[in-house]
Each structure stands twice: as structure tokens, then as C-alpha cells.
Amino acid sequence: MPVLPGAEPYRHDGGEVGVLLCHGFTGSPQSLRPWAEYLAERGLTVSLPLLPGHGTRWQDMQVTGWQDWYAEVDRELRSLLERCRHVFVFGLSMGGALTLRLAAKHGDAVRGVVVVNPANKVHGAMASLLPVVRHLVPSTKGLTSDIAKQGVEELGYDRVPLHAAHSVRQFFRLVDGELPQVTQPMLLLHSPEDHVVPAADSARILSRVSSTDVTEILLEQSYHVATLDHDAERIFEESYAFIGRLAPSAETTGSPAPETLGGSTTGG
């Protein structure tokens, strides 16, 4: 299946500081594209992959699971580590869980993590029934576009495939057990009013990681997809300042992304 227009992966070859961005469940790189371009315009090397089964049609997710999604971001991280002196990992929602597992598994190779409304658990009455229901019902209503800002839409699926939902539930349990292995500096930004991931998930993550350098920021004006919402610019600025504090060379090296290309210099 062809990738939906706007859901394409994004990469920019910049300086010695790299950032991997991980999008959310049933979403696409579109939700993080402005963030990626902001970082590229400041000379950073940026990778924003499209997770397998995403960005086409929801039926394509039925044959994928967390192992596929994690393998994709793990490959991208390893590629950045070969090219960059310092590498950071950022994530939204389920992308936050992917980020945290990368941090737990790669240790000091990951310089720092930034997570926005990170997911830690599948909530709702159906969650415990997923092992059975997924064999009876193929999908349920979608989760995308929880955005306070008028006129802004998230590009993602309008249905949630239940086989994939069962897999993400298993993944969250796995990551929760690995959170004490996360030791890197962390910036966690979350929305008090989020209709997809409750604040309890952020609280759980903050209570279980072993990081000692932790900053928590509330995004008072945004809903779940805060990277496209009223607080987007604040997320971009705070994350760039976070990088600058931990890797000062980020502010002095690297080639800015050409404005005429919208920050995409390698395509795809």
C-alpha cells in the first residue's frame, strides 16, 4: 500500500548531535514533523521513521506488532549512533514507550530522552478482554486528533486494529518492567487534559525510572497530540534547550536545513 500523503518518514543530515523521534500508535510522522523540522533547521541530524503498519491503512497494522515497531526505531538509533557524537531520543504517546525502551536497552549511548504524553498502559474496560476480543472483532474506533487547537488534524487511522492493540498492551507491560533501567536525563511534558493517555501514566513513569536529572512540564493548553497543539512551540524550545544543556556542541555545529526544502534533505 502507498504511504498516505504527509505520513512519509523524514530525515535530515546535520551535525554531530542526532535526534530520533518516535511517533505514536496508529499515528504517523506527520504528528512530529514540525518538531523534526524545528530541530533540523538548527543544524541537528534528525531521523523520524514511519513505524511498520502505519501510514497506509489500518488493516496493515493487523499483521504487525510491537516487535516490528521497536525493531524499526532500534535500527534508526543504531544508524544515528554510527554518524553522531551525541544522540537523543524523543517520543509521543506510544512513541514515548519506544523511547524509554531504547534508553533502557542502549544505556549511555542515549544521551537523553524527551517524552510527550507518554503511554504506559492500555486503559478502558476492553483492555483485559483484548486477548479474546481481538479474535472476534477486527477493530474499534480510532484515537487520533485529540487536539485542542481548532482546525488542526492528526494524520492517522480512524480505526484501531485489535490485534495490534493487544500487542501494544503487551509492550507497555514489558516497558514498565524495564523503567528502572532508564538512567538518562529526562524531560517529560504532559497535558493535564488528555483524552487518550491519562496523567497517571506520566506519574507512573516518573516514579519508576532511575534517572536523577528529570524535568516535568505541564502543557496546560493542549490535549494528547501536544506536538501539533497550542503548546507545540514550547515543546520544541524546551527540548532544544535540553539538548543544548547536555550537548553544548549542538549550538555551534551542523548545517541548518535548507528552508526551501522544508528541512527534508534526504527525502522519504
What's the rounded Cα separation, in Å, for the pair 154 and 151? 10
Q: Is 189 helix (H, G, I), strand (E, B) or coil?
A: strand
Catalytic-residue membership of 194: yes
**Given the residues 47, 139, 224, 264, the one annotated as active site:** 224
**Given the residues 28, 31, 47, 93, the one annotated as active site:** 93
Strand pairing partners for 116?
A: 92, 189
Catalytic-residue membership of 79: no
What's the rounded Cα separation, in Å, for the pair 223 and 195? 7
- What's at 69, amino acid-wise? W
> Nine-digit cell at 252?
555551534
* Angle, alpha carbons 260-264-265 (nearest 5°): 90
88 is in an annotated binding site: no
94 is in an annotated binding site: yes
Q: Which residues contact 254 (CB under 8 A, 6 or more apart)?
A: 14, 15, 16, 17, 42, 43, 44, 45
C-alpha distance from residue 101 to each of 31, 216, 221 (Å): 21, 19, 28
**Given the residues 23, 139, 146, 194, the one annotated as active site:** 194
> Nine-digit cell at 131?
486477548
Catalytic-residue membership of 224: yes
Residues tagged active-site: 93, 194, 224
**Binding site residue list for substrate:** 25, 94
**Binding site residue list:** 25, 94
